[in-house]
Structures are given as C-alpha cells and as structure tokens.
Amino acid sequence: MEMNLFGSKSVSTSEMVHVGGTYSSLFLSSRDKATVRFSKQFYCPRGIFFTSSNIYLSDKAITSVGPHILAAETNCHGINGINGETSNLYSRNMRVLDAFDDEYGGVVMDTERLPESPSAFAPSLHFSLAHWKKMGKKGIWLKLLVEQSELVPIAVKEGFQYHHAEQGYVMLTYWLPEGPCMLPANASHQVGVGGFVINQNNEVLVVQEKHCAPSSSGLWKIPTGFILEAEEIYTGGIREVKEETEIDSEFVEVIAFRHIHNMAFEKSDLFFICMLRPLSTQIIVEDLEIQAAKWMPLVEFIKQPLIQGDNMFKKVIDICFARLGKHYCGLSVHQMLSKFDGKPSSLYYNVVDSKNINCVGN
C-alpha cells in the first residue's frame, strides 16, 4: 500500500472495501482499487462529532467475502427497527445477506445480490441486522439502485436513514451501536468559477444573461458557472468563457475565492475568481442563456451602479487592478502526481521565487 499526501486514505483489495478512520493527513494514504477516505465530519442528528469514515464503492472491485449463508440462528433478538419483531420469528433457514466487512467494524451490503422482492428482502434484512449487531458491527451501508426502489421502504422501516443519492441510486446507512453515529457526511459543497478575462487594451470580457432578475437587467458581468463533475477549477473557468462567448483563453491565476453557506439544497458554496488571458478576440454568442457579450473597458465595467454599490465587488476589482499592475500575486496551479496515492492533483499556490519575492506572474 502506498501513502498519500493530503487528506485521504485509500485501501482495497478485489475482495474488500474498507471503511473508517480519520480524514487523515497531510500524509496518510494507501490505495489500490477502491478508495476509502477518513473523515472527522458527521451530520449525525445526535450532534456529537467523532472521527469516522467515508467510503467509495468501486463497482467492479468488490466481490462477496465471508460466510454468505449462516445456518438458522436461534438466539437472535430484534433490533430497533420499526417492525419490532425479533428475528426468532423467521430465523429458521434464514441467511445473512451478502456483504463485505470493512476494516473499521462496518458492513457494506452487496447491492447486486439483494433479493429482488420486498417480501423476501424484509425478513432477510431484519435477520441480517440482528446478526451483524450480535457480531458487534457498527455502520451498515446499503446502496439501492433505482431499479431496487421497492426495497427502500423496507430498509427505512428497519431503521435505515438516507445518506446520499445520485441519479442512479440512493445510499442508506444504519448505525448499529449505542452512542453517536460515526459515519461520514455527504458532499458539502458546490464549486463555482468566474473567468476574469482582460485583454491588452484593458477591456474585460463581459456577458448579459437572458434570465436575470429585473433589478439586474442590463448588467454586464463576467462569465461564471459551476465546475462539472471531476473538472478542474482552472479548466472550468476556461470552459465557461468558451461556452458563453467562444473566446479561447488560458489560465493565469486564482486571484481570490469566496465561501458562503446555506445555498442550494442547504449546501455551502466556494466560488473561485480566475484571471484568464484571452487567446482570441472574436466573440460569438450561441449559449442559450446568454443575451449578449462584448469587450468592455475596465473603467466602464466598474462604473456600473450595481457593481459600485457593493464593497465585496469593489474589493475584487481592487485586486484585479493590483494584479494587472503586478502588485498582487494570485495562486497559480501546479499539476502533481503524488507518490503517496498516485492521484493526479492540482496544487494551487503563489509562485515562490527567492530572487523575486514580488509577483512573478506574467
């Protein structure tokens, strides 16, 4: 197993998915096929935050391990699902559902080997939970594909909670022990980018959007958008500019970022302002959401009343001016492949140059 630089610890074999630990690190990780991340963040209702884990299920890497079929257990007691029956009621010839142990005392149920019918799933799930509780297991992970939606109410009745969902599945969890839930949280942030494209004539590339609030009608703004799944911040800025204006550009620096909370779906939001250098001049507007685009003198851009009225915007403009005058250094991006985890990484930092400690950006 290899080690990783920041924040992640990845362990897997073809047979196991491991879960647990601490967000780790500057400096902790190992990696094979499936990825495990260690976390100190939890959204448990009990409000006690303890160290626990994130889990990533590699669809292909996991296969079932351990005893799949246990002979009838005669001494299982019901656990705290809503159903309330003890598993004695149907423990004869019952089997524990296929699952994988994780190295932190949890269980990952095998999505592909679940019974198809709710009537078969219900008693098996009840029996399995009783078994895992007896075995001292902790967090139970149950990923149900959209095709398995009929099993969702069964799991909920047994006491499972929703953890997260993506288009094709919903992940449910069950924390068996007494005491605080130590399972990791769902993703917490959206990430947006804005492209500040300034040409040699000190003109800013600006757009007007079709669907804007009446009060902002006529405002010229920089191209912005959310970054796509697994997209880089610096390429996201370039893509947004291209989509909205057809202008090609190259990344210079992240000059600032803003962090706000309780946005869409009550998530937080990080917005990175990227300074970009234009590589073309001719604007073409074909984006369905963009009304118009143009090169606008920076001075004129700043004079817009909606921009003048906000301290934050003025600060960003100050930074842009300073950066244009090379009195400011933003963060440049450096692609690195960490030996520890083999993860292609983008590290953003100021350029360090002992001979020239001022901004060495170009």
Closest approach of Cβ 69 to a copy of itself, in Å? 28
Single out the residue of 68, 77, 258, 303 in contact with a copy of itself (rule: CB under 8 A).
258
Q: Mask of contacts with a copy of itself, 1-30, x by CB under 8 A?
A: xxx-xxxxx-x--------xxxxxxxxxxx
Whole-number Å distance between alpha carbons of 330 and 272: 11
Does residue number 288 form part of the binding site for a copy of itself (CB under 8 A)? Answer: yes
Total residues in contact with a copy of itself, by rule CB under 8 A = 142
Tokens linked to 334: 């450096």
Q: Which is nearer to a copy of itself, 78 or 225 (CB)?
A: 225
Which residues in 37-56 contact a copy of itself (CB under 8 A)? 37-41, 43, 45, 49-51, 54-56
Q: Mask of contacts with a copy of itself, 204-243, x by CB under 8 A?
A: -----x-xxxxxx--x-xx-xxxxxxx-xx------x--x
8 A C-beta contact, residue 13 and residue 348: no
Which among 103, 137, 98, 100 is positioned nearest to 18, based on CA atoms? 103
Closest approach of Cβ 261 to a copy of itself, in Å? 4
217 Cβ contact list (under 8 Å, min separation 6): none
Which among 85, 171, 97 is positioned nearest to 137, based on CA atoms? 97
Closest approach of Cβ 181 to a copy of itself, in Å? 9
25 Cβ contact list (under 8 Å, min separation 6): 4, 5, 6, 7, 8, 9, 38
Q: Which is nearer to a copy of itself, 6 or 90 (CB)?
A: 6
Q: Mask of contacts with a copy of itself, 299-338, x by CB under 8 A?
A: -------xx-xxxxx-xx-xx--x----xxxxx--x-x-x
Which residues in 163-182 contact a copy of itself (CB under 8 A)? 163-171
Does residue number 360 form part of the binding site for a copy of itself (CB under 8 A)? Answer: no
Look-up: residue for tokens 């160290």? 51
DSSP string, 197-254: EB-TTSEEEEEEESS--GGGTT--B--EEEPPTT--HHHHHHHHHHHHH---EEEEEE
Closest approach of Cβ 67 to a copy of itself, in Å? 26
8 A C-beta contact, residue 245 and residue 225: no
Does residue number 268 form part of the binding site for a copy of itself (CB under 8 A)? Answer: yes
